[in-house]
Structure 1
């Protein structure tokens, strides 16, 4: 189940050189087709494909084209946008071309389609309303194959609370050049030139939260103006629709002096009149119009995701409100209305209603309610088939959509992807996951095993724990179910890869960190007999942590903001190493620990310094051990070789599995190499930084080298491993590969495969040229 902790995982992992990257330009600036934001090279990229997980994250909105069948999009909160391919029955990622400086725009707050042009798509992006950055509107005229963008004059919050409310962006069905945007903190905005320029609709309100107040709001955001509805049955008349409704969240309404939760304009937005609604103090997550003009409005107390109640559903004919459905909180229940969709008209109107904050705990629990008589009677259609709470209909049912071309086809979102039925009229509809192609999660650690392992990849990710991948194109079944909310670190014993150890956060309330191990390649898992001495502290549960396995039952565990400790008995006892403790420096920091693959008595520990502002108080540090990670000696030559202070997420360490003592470090700026177990170092001086608008006393806007991995070398290579880095070489940012020990490099991804930045790398030890990489909220991809 995807919770908001995934946002934190994205931030602390340093994915995409900072999930809040990007710089503002004028409101009319444009960029062609996600062109590379750092110098590009004319080189054919290796082909890239997603490692199969399937879903994994929250899909707040599904958007169907109202008249063209099978044109439908799924927007995610941190992992981009997908378009449905009906031929292959898969979702196609259409935002993988976002560059490394566009990480902040990898979440879509709202998406709109032009009812008169099924190829025109508008995608509003920007992760956090409180970040200080404005949002961005991407525009496509070819269904997302290519994009231009304009920078919006207001903030957006794709990963903020209430991210399923809306859709906030709507295109006038009668005049396609007219768009309205219901913002969280800046009121209602309008464009009359296909989204190129925007003006606030001050006839409704001119109130905007001051930027310095947004961070102190509950949830650091507001419901704002929550939705726009055009009250019309016509399309493409050429005259702007005159009757428009706008819903208002209770928090924003109180701050802006708007007394009603719903406003109506009959003159194209020139004037507005409050509509007396039957509920006050509620959010309106969705309002929809049936073909006969009847308007259906959901009222829910909480903002969501997984909004709690009480909640009500009404129909409204412009004068009279009629209550159709309601839920009150009970001792064990607190349900809200999330999704709402209608089909047809009159007394046979079909209504699909998503009951949010329901978890499938028992048969008959209201997940999706369906009415075929305009709300007079209802039946439950989603729990006719048994599903477990963690695998089936998880509780964020915040959007439900009836397919406009097939009313028996109903899809709903969850915190972990999508479910659909194609026989909704059946007394017992059958449901299936429809997540093929959707790969949305924040990956914190990747690891590959040695040749001979019966698995290919180890993965620790935010919100979905850890898993062992045996087939890259099939969803893994080797997961320690219920052990972790966030997987943080994972490693294997090189002498016996059936032994795997992993660390993670056990619950969504991030309190401490937990350790587990497997002796059968991830089929079954066992808790460590005891935890690291600092494991229970909240600070230790951050993502800046690692674990190094030296042999079965033996490991060195370095939690965040702590002092590493080692075990020789599967965690029955833990003993502190002599490494100094690492308290936080305003943000979390930690050691990256790794075991030498040729000599397990050698263990290496890298402390990047934690944050650029710590450069005046500390340096980066490299330590080596020759007794299995019990005691360490610091390398006196590391800093002298040019090692910099940077964040945990912008740095990396890797060992050559084919040569003892052969170590590589990416310190955010440079690539450093040691062939004597870390005693002495050589700076390759092959990478450069993109400082962007940042002064050189801060940190580069794009790191020169942020991740590194070593894998199987091709036949004829002059070095025993292929070296892969994420960084800037010869002016081009991307994934670069060297087969000659770092003397020469070539970029192996192209501008269509940038994933708004790339975080972790892990190189295959069996297949030459195959490297695994984490995209910005896009799961794991690999070259082939």
Structure 2
């Protein structure tokens, strides 16, 4: 054991935190990279539309550039769940009014009740209105909707469908206060009732509300409203004829599927409903579509014949064309082979045409697809490397909308991106449209690893679900993902003395690959064995790979098999010295461990005060061996002698998470150190240039990056004060 000390002489300096004038931009990928729940058009103002995601917040449409503007980047650590968006309502009377229902989880993963974010300037500013229950923007069934609606006959009246048995709520003062209605059907379906985490066992609740503007109304608002609740085996669609005072089940309805979406077709005086047998957005093996004639009180099964024949998926997004009565479009949920399908009807669902057809013609009887569209992914060419099979249209399609002012413009969200077209009406003539990725401005990845090597690309990333990129140009979409494409890639590192040598891990057994050209090409590691997921570190000369898959610490040397390291806890976080190939550092439970043999054996060198957790570790990436920083729930510790002695930063930094090292102001000078943590009681992102504990806050009122503990950092060793922040849902940012 070696000595430790506290840096006490800088307390006065540390107590004054300067706000640094940083400029922040998203690292551009162009394709979104996550699930898009729905697009909500305003029905009064042309080109006014909003978009919701499950973990990446809400966006506003920018028609001049056909792109999207994020609206909730100001959400700070305490407001991290504002990035979970369950529903959006844009006012059909006063388009300046916007309501966003936010919250991530209804189980213990999110400690907060839900919130209504209200704007009176189309999303430029917001007021937060607390709800008395939780909201599940990233829960099963998040594709149902919309759960939040405004009454066009009295825009002070809003209805909100809740989860978890909380029922249907109503506001009569523009969302400021809410009262539970008398609807006793609360939507009892749960994906897995036995799930002890509460994620799959929570009832899906009230899925959608339709305010029937074709019926009677009073000064208090529309009298007749329809409500869809997520239940199977009992009535799931209910109607009120007294503005929500009382409800009755709509006669003649089916009860063997979940009604995920209900939309009003005013010219037809009908409601279209899509059904599925599971929660969605990524499951569903059976379903139907129905149309309810409000005047006659009758139901019609309008399920396309091809879907009845396939009998392997349900239905999600559905939309009418407000300019052309009888035109309706719908999407499958989830059809994984050979692709999702989109249907279009010109006669109110009596007949349907499809976006593609497939067959198995002789003599070989191999799959043949006739696509009635041109696929344009030029804004995100890397999508081609992700879509390695027959899927182009997508999956998880719960939101599909035709622009109410432009019959040629439609949009739909998938589990990967946002697609749509600006020549939709060609479907009805030449039957060939341009189906384009229209996700410019949306960045929705959950970032799992970042490195900024001293040579090659300034940034290489790994992210959840789609893998990650080499970012040769931070402002241009990369041409390809990491190949092989594994879906989720969990960890990445580079060898300090050979910085074009990289290693990354994937989420399945044996997924580990190395690169010798800065990440542009990858080779599967032959001796990865059955390990999976977790983080990875590369020794300075690329002779040792240290892997922490969650079940321990493992090391492989010179291309050999992985064996368990000794002398270090299984939950340790690891960093390799970027100059000395033999040294590897580990931190766990408020203790520092050092290996002098490339990660084979570790020795406990220091106990970091009273800390019980180890949250982050970083090393000098500028050619100086033996220098490292590590963070705990009680701050940050620094060593310059290979961990023999450590100094604690006591001046203001009381809690630390991710830590990173970047370029100094002058060559050979003290490096900049970046940390996500709490300084003087304020959770945020900070930088110090002198290792003294004098901190500058680098997040700004416009960019707070959500959860501090969930963020990742990488300092750029070539550009002074440049830092990269990886978020859980809004992709990667870079700041100067």
Q: TM-score range by the shorter chain?
A: 0.7 to 0.9
- Residue 269 of structure 1 is aligned with which of 206, 230, 244? 244
Q: Give the match for residue 292 of structure 2.
A: 316
1:357 aligned onto 2:334: yes
Shift of 1:643: 5.7
The whole-number CA distance in structure 2 between the counterparts of 1:214 and 1:105 is: 25
SS in 2 for 1:397: coil
8 Å contact kept, 1:398–1:413: yes
Distance of 1:164 and 1:341 partners within structure 2: 14
> Does the 8 Å contact 2:185/2:229 carry over to 1?
no
Separation in structure 2 between the aligned mates of residue 770 and residue 74 of structure 1, nearest angstrom:
31
Q: Relative to 1, partners in 2 of residues 1:306 and 1:500: Cα closer, same or farther, differing over 3 Å?
A: same
Distance 1:557 1:216, change over 3 A: closer
Which of 84, 92, 95 aligns to 1:115? It is: 92
Question: Partners of 1:396 and 1:642 in 2: how far apart?
Answer: 49
**Which residue matches 1:564?**
554
Q: Which residue of 1 aligns with 2:317?
A: 339
Hey, what does 1:550 align to over in structure 2? 540
1:769 aligns with 2:721: yes
Q: What is the CA distance between 1:218 and its match in structure 2?
A: 8.0
CA gap of 1:316–1:478, structure 2 versus 1, over 3 A, is closer
2:17 is the alignment partner of 1:47: no
Give the secondary-structure state (helix, strand or coil) at the position aligned to 1:174: coil
TM-score relative to the length of structure 2: 0.87
Matches of 1:209 and 1:309 in 2, distance apart?
16
- What whole-Å deviation, never above 9, does each CA across 1:597-644 have from its counterpart, x for those lacking one? 22222221222x2xxxxxxxxxx2212222322332221xx21x4261
- C-alpha distance in 2 between matches for 1:720 and 1:463: 37
Q: Please, what TM-score do these two structures have when normalized by structure 1?
A: 0.82
Query: In structure 1, how many angstroms separate the alpha carbons of the residues matched to 2:250 and 2:484?
Result: 47
CA change 1:658–1:438 in 2 (3 A) is same
Structure 1 residues 394 and 203, CA, compared in 2 at 3 Å: closer, same or farther? closer
Summarize deviations over 1:403-425 as a string: whole Å, max 9, x none: 11111111111001200111112
Could you tell me how far 1:772 is from its partner in structure 2? 0.2
Q: Which SS does the other structure have where 1:751 is aligned?
A: coil
- The aligned counterpart of 2:411 is 411
1:62 to 39, 44, 48: 39
Specify which of 651, 654, 662 is matched with residue 711 of structure 1: 662
Distance 1:355-1:577 versus aligned 2 partners, 3 A rule: same
Task: Please state whether the residue corresponding to 1:425 is helix, strand or coil.
Answer: helix
Shift of residue 329, structure 1, vs aligned partner? 7.9
Partner of 1:232: 213
1:2-401, aligned counterparts within 5 Å? 43=19, 45-53=21-29, 54-131=31-108, 133-185=112-164, 186-205=166-185, 219-233=200-214, 238-250=219-231, 259-292=234-267, 293-318=269-294, 319-326=297-304, 334-344=312-322, 348-359=325-336, 361-362=337-338, 367-381=341-355, 383-385=371-373, 389=387, 392-401=392-401
Could you tell which deviates more after superposition, 391-400 or 769-778?
391-400
RMSD: 2.8
Deviation for aligned residue 1:522: 2.0
Cα gap change, 1:461 to 1:217, in 2 (>3 Å): closer
Give 1:81 shift: 0.9
Cα distance change, pair 713–326 in 1 and its aligned pair in 2 (3 A): same
Contact 1:307 1:338 in 2 (8 A): no
Instruction: Work out whether 1:755 is the aligned partner of 2:714.
Output: no
Q: Hey, what does 1:464 align to over in structure 2? A: 466
* Structure 1 contact 126–134 (Cα < 8 Å) conserved: yes
Matched residue SS, 2:259: coil
Deviation at 1:460, TM superposition (A): 1.8
2:625 paired residue among 655, 660, 671:
660
Q: Give the conservation status (yes or no) of the 8 Å contact 1:67–1:405.
A: no
Q: What is the Cα deviation at residue 716 of structure 1?
A: 8.3
Cα contact 1:134–1:155 (8 A) shared by 2? yes
Written as runs of structure 1 = structure 2, the 5 A alignment for 1:289-688 is 289-292=264-267, 293-318=269-294, 319-326=297-304, 334-344=312-322, 348-359=325-336, 361-362=337-338, 367-381=341-355, 383-385=371-373, 389=387, 392-426=392-426, 427-450=431-454, 452-453=455-456, 455-506=457-508, 512=509, 514-531=511-528, 535-536=530-531, 541=533, 543=534, 545-552=535-542, 554-569=544-559, 572-582=560-570, 590-607=571-588, 609=589, 620-635=590-605, 638-639=606-607, 641-642=608-609, 644-646=611-613, 650-688=615-653
In structure 2, relative to structure 1, the CA distance for the partners of 1:574 and 1:225 (3 Å cut) is closer
Structure 2: how far apart are the matches of 1:369 and 1:553?
55
> Are the equivalent residues in 2 in contact too, given 1:723–1:741 (CA < 8 A)?
yes
User: Using the alignment, how far apart are the partners of 2:223 and 2:158 within structure 1?
Assistant: 13
Tell me the distance in 2 between the aligned counterparts of 1:377 and 1:40: 70
Task: Write the distance in 1 (CA, Å) between the matches of 2:323 and 2:564.
Answer: 70
Give the 3 Å change call, closer, same or farther, for CA 368–231 of structure 1 in structure 2.
Answer: same
In structure 1, the partner of 2:366 is: none
Cα 1:495/1:151, change in 2 over 3 Å: same
**Aligned equivalents of 1:474, 1:235: Cα separation in 2:** 53
Work out whether residues 103 and 776 of structure 1, in 8 Å CA contact, stay in contact via their aligned partners in 2.
no
Judge which range, 320-329 or 145-154, deviates more: 320-329
CA change 1:760–1:668 in 2 (3 A) is farther
Shift of 1:223: 2.6
- For structure 2, which runs of at least 5 residues remain unmatched after alignment? 1-14, 357-370, 376-383
Q: Deviations over 1:287-309 (max 9, x none)?
A: 11113122211122222113424
Distance 1:380 1:752, change over 3 A: same
Q: Deviations over 1:166-200 (max 9, x none)?
A: 10011111111111111122111111111121111
SS in 2 for 1:61: strand
Q: 1:345 to 1:65 in 2, by over 3 A?
A: closer
More strand by share: 2
Q: After superposition, give the CA deviation of every residue in 1:205-241 in whole Å (9 maximum; x if it has no partner).
A: 589999x999577822223221110110599984310
Instruction: Say if 2:659 and 2:673, in contact at 8 Å, map to a contact too.
Output: yes
The structure-2 alpha-carbon separation of the partners of 1:203 and 1:673, relative to structure 1 and needing over 3 Å to count, comes to closer
Aligned to 1:726: 676
Q: 1:519 to 1:331 in 2, by over 3 A?
A: farther
Report the equivalent of 1:700.
none
Q: Distance in 1 between matches of 2:612 and 2:661?
A: 23
CA change 1:551–1:140 in 2 (3 A) is same
- Find the aligned partners of 1:706 and 1:218 in 2 and give their Cα distance: 26
SS class of match (1:484): coil
1:710-755, Cα deviation, whole Å (9 max, x unpaired): 11112389x4311111122244332211111234221122121102
Q: CA deviation at 1:581?
A: 4.8
Instruction: Name the SS for the 2:107 alignment partner.
Output: helix
What displacement does 1:386 show?
Answer: 6.7
